[in-house]
């Protein structure tokens, strides 16, 4: 009995490829495209933008496929035509919101090419569909998430599903062809390991690339260095000249930060002291002038405890506040 248990445990430890693993369809980078003949010599190309599904793998081989496509997401690049395709003449998206496909058998043709035979349902009519699928190896993205891509081709006849709308051309030819060629690729990721859509929208720059390399362990984080600002020692991470922590410090070198990291810009300091001192004196002068003006205007009626006295104080304080705000914005420039 003990020998049997050992063999059982070893079987599941050393033969992980026999265990099924389910991967989810991620439509962020999936492409469900189709083409149909138009006027016999041209083609109309389109795609479905929204889908969901899963693929079950045994090792590196797919064992089952299930896909659901939202019919309202059809997109041929022409709003008027897309509106027609969504109506009852074609997909009738209100009554039939989804196209469904599931596999019945999957045969391996060579190393990474498979013949997937299954059933597709359009407008409650179910027919056979065979797809030739090329499966990629597992690859990792910038954030360490795993991906597989399934590239497929196939063909179906729209008349099999009652999609028979058409227009007659001279000579009994038809405006739209009956056979629809299918071609596209599907992005697959493990359940619980999908990459957020927002990740793909982050702008690329040198700082983000360095941080991502550090997170993956491909680069070392920069060591903090001690610099002195306004006479007080503080710990800062080395910064590039574009990340100026204060307007009164400037980099010593455009290409590198020295051991002290920064130096004072005396011209800005003098300008700040000049504007601050004379601005404050000017503000006090205006304040006294306001008080004196009220005193002369309300001669005989002026009193610090009545409304006129309070009003003169409010106006004076408002002027001081305006100076403080202006000076604050000045030193932030």
Task: Kindly report the number of other CB atoms within 10 A of residue 170's CB atom.
Answer: 5
- Residue 272 and residue 230 share a domain: no
Domain containing residue 310: 266-332
Q: Quick one: average pLDDT of 300-318? A: 68
> What was the pLDDT predicted at 251?
46
Q: Classify residue 98: in a domain, yes or no.
A: yes
Q: How remote is the C-alpha of 177 from its chain's centroid?
A: 38
* Residue of 297 and 257 predicted with greater confidence: 297
Judge if 276 and 291 occupy the same domain: yes
What does pTM read for this prediction? 0.54
Distance (Å, whole) CA 62 – CA 108: 9
The answer on pLDDT for 333 being more than 70 is: no
pLDDT at 150: 95
Domain assignment present for 9: no
Q: How far is CA 307 from the centre of its chain?
A: 59
Whether 178 has a pLDDT exceeding 60, the answer reads: yes
pLDDT at 74: 95
Q: How confident is the model at residue 181 (pLDDT cuts 50, 70, 90)?
A: very high
What average pLDDT does the segment 152-174 reach? 80
At a CB cut-off of 8 Å and minimum separation 6, what does 186 contact?
25, 30, 31, 32, 51, 53, 67, 149, 150, 152
| Mean of the per-residue pLDDT values of the chain | 76
Shared domain check, 276 and 232: no
Portion of the chain with pLDDT greater than 90, in percent: 34
pLDDT band, very low/low/confident/very high, at 326 (cuts 50, 70, 90): confident
The per-residue pLDDT for 157 is 92
Domain for residue 2, yes or no? no
Structural domain tally of the chain? 3
Query: What pLDDT score was predicted for residue 106?
Result: 96
3-state SS, 52-109, equals EEEEEEECCEEEEEEEEEEHHHEECCCHHHHHHHHCCCCCCCCCCCEEEEEEEEEEEC
Has residue 3 been placed in a domain?
Answer: no
Q: What is the pLDDT of residue 184?
A: 93
Query: Does position 43 have pLDDT exceeding 70, yes or no?
Result: yes
Does the structure show a pLDDT above 70 at 109? yes
């Amino acid at each position: 009995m003990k020998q049997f248990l050992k063999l059982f445990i070893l079987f599941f430890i050393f033969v992980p490829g026999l265990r099924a693993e389910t991967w989810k369809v991620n439509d962020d980078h999936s492409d469900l495209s189709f083409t149909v003949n138009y006027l016999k010599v041209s083609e109309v190309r389109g795609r479905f933008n929204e889908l969901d599904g899963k693929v079950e793998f045994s090792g590196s081989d797919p064992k089952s496929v299930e896909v659901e496509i939202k019919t309202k997401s059809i997109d041929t690049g022409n709003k008027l035509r897309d509106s027609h395709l969504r109506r009852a003449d074609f997909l009738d998206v209100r009554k039939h919101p989804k196209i469904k496909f599931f596999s019945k058998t999957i045969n391996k043709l060579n190393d990474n090419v498979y013949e997937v035979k299954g059933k597709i349902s359009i407008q409650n009519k179910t027919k056979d569909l065979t797809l030739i699928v090329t499966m990629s190896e597992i690859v990792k993205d910038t954030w360490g998430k795993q991906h597989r891509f399934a590239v497929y081709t196939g063909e179906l006849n729209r008349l099999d599903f009652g999609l028979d709308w058409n227009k007659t051309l001279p000579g009994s030819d038809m405006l739209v062809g009956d056979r629809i060629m299918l071609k596209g690729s599907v992005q697959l990721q493990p359940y619980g390991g999908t990459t957020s859509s927002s990740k793909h929208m982050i702008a690329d720059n040198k700082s983000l690339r360095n941080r991502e390399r550090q997170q993956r362990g491909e680069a070392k984080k920069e060591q903090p260095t001690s610099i002195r600002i306004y006479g007080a020692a503080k710990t800062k991470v080395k910064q590039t000249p574009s990340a100026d922590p204060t307007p009164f410090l400037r980099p010593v070198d455009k290409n590198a930060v020295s051991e002290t990291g920064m130096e004072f810009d005396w011209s800005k300091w003098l300008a700040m002291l000049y504007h601050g001192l004379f601005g404050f004196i000017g503000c006090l002068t205006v304040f006294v002038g306001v008080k004196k003006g009220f005193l002369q205007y309300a001669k005989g009626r002026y009193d610090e405890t009545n409304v006129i006295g309070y009003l003169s104080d409010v106006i004076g304080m408002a002027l001081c506040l305006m100076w403080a705000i202006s000076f604050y914005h000045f030193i932030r420039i």
